[in-house]
Amino acid sequence: MALFNFGKKKEEEKKTPACACSCGCAASEAESITNDCCPDLKEGEICCIKVLGAGCKSCHEQQFEYTKQAVKDMGLSVEVEYITDMQKVMEYGVMSMPALVVNEKVVAMGKVLKAADVVTMLRKVGY
């Protein structure tokens, strides 16, 4: 039995926390994005909102427009940015789109959120 290491306890490897995309990359990779859009951000403020997508209808015509509508409904003076560059999308660790990024943190991915859902999400994040 020792030939195939049966019966021996395996040493548990120290695991790093998983990233938001559950792809197995280290969380430090996803956290390496610096908050360059709002360096002096106060607690509970929202300075930048990004929609990450592939340019398809559900990403652009739905998620992007719903997010802009939610920002307008909340009376925020924040411009919503739409990013389709796959290199930039991958820097966030996002594997399923559309994704919503608030203050450089991924808060939702893989499904289209209606405007009311985006408002709820922004309130959870801190506004």
| Residue-level pLDDT, tens digit, the chain, 127 residues | 556 666 555 544 434 444 444 444 444 333 444 445 666 666 667 888 999 998 888 888 889 999 999 999 999 888 999 999 999 999 999 889 999 999 889 999 999 999 999 999 888 877 6
Could you give the CA distance from residue 117 to residue 26 in angstroms, rounded to a whole number? 29
- pTM of this prediction? 0.67
Distance of CA 121 to the CA centre of its chain: 12
Q: In what order do the strands lie in the sheet with 49-52?
A: 80-83, 49-52, 99-102, 105-109
Beta strands in the chain (DSSP E): 49-52, 80-83, 99-102, 105-109
Strand 49-52 relative to strand 99-102, pairing = antiparallel
Domain spanning 37-125: which CATH class is it, in words?
Answer: alpha beta
